[in-house]
Amino acid sequence: MKRVLLTIAFDGTNYHGWQVQPNAVTVQQVLGEAIEELLGAPHNITGCSRTDAGVHAREFCCHLDCGDNIPEKAFLTGLNSILPDDVAVVSCREVSDDFHARYNAKGKQYAYGMYMGGKNPFDERYFLHLNSEPDINLMNFFAKTVIGTHDFCGFSSSGRTVENTVRTVSECFVEKTGNKIYFKVTADGFLYNMVRILTGTALAVGYGRCNCNIAENIFITKDRSLGGDTLPPHGLFLEKVIY
C-alpha cells in the first residue's frame, strides 16, 4: 500500500461542504464514489479541513491509501474522467506513510470576493454584489489589526466544535482589481465562519458602520455582535493549503 496526496479544486455551489453527511451531497462523497468506481472498492479519504456549504476551493488537499501498482498520472486521469465537471483533481503524488492531510497542514489561505456595479449573472455565482464601493484604506486598516495571535472567538459562529479559539493570522489584506474587491487572509487555522465574519466586519468598517479598531474590542470581549455580518458562502474560496 502507498499513501497519495490529492489536490483538488471544486465549485462548491451544488455541495453541502466537504465532509460526508447523511442527507446531503458533499464533495467527499462524490470523490469517494469516483475512487470506488475506479479502484473497485471503497477507500477512506481524509481531508485537510471541513468547508461550509457553498464554499469553493482552488486547492483542497486530501489523502488516501491505495495499491502500490497504481501510477499517479493514470490515477489522476482516471478520476477526472469520472468526476462531475464541478470537481477536478489537480495533482496526485505519493507521500510518506505518516503524512496526514489535516494534521500536517501548517496553515491555509482564503480569499473572499466581492464585485461592484450593475448586477452581473456571471459574477453572481462567485462574488458578493456590492451596491457601492467601500473605503479600501479603512478595510486594510482593519485587516492589519487582526494579524498576529489572538482569540478569535468573537469572529466565529456559535456552531463551532472546538474549545481552543486562539489562532495566528500571518497575513491579511484587501485589494481592489477593476470592479472586484478581495479580502485575503492566511492563518494557521480557522474557526467556523471565521473568514466570512472577518470579511463582513472589514466591509462594515469600509462603509463606516464599525470603527476601524473594532477588532481589539472583539478580541477582549469575545462579543460576536460587535462585528459585521456573516457574509454568504458563495464568495469564499480556499486558495491554498500550506505544508
Tally the residues of the chain.
243
The set of residues, in sequence order, having a beta carbon less than 8 Å from that of 1 and lying 6+ positions away, is 65, 66, 67, 68
- Gap between the terminal Cα atoms of the chain: 23
Active site residue 52: yes
Three-state SS string over the chain comes to CEEEEEEEEECHHHCCCCCCECCECCHHHHHHHHHHHHHCCCCCCEECCCCCCCCEEEEEEEEEEECCCCCHHHHHHHHHHHCCCCEEEEEEEEECCCCCCCCCCCEEEEEEEEEECCCCCCCCCCCEEECCCCCHHHHHHHHHHCCEEEECHHHCCCCCCCCCCEEEEEEEEEEEECCEEEEEEEECCCCCCHHHHHHHHHHHHHCCCCCCCHHHHHHHHCCHHHCCCCCCHHHEEEEEEEC
Residue type, 50: R
Annotated catalytic residue within 52, 86, 135, 151: 52
What's the CA gap between 38 and 52, in Å, rounded? Answer: 27
By annotation, the residues acting in catalysis are: 52
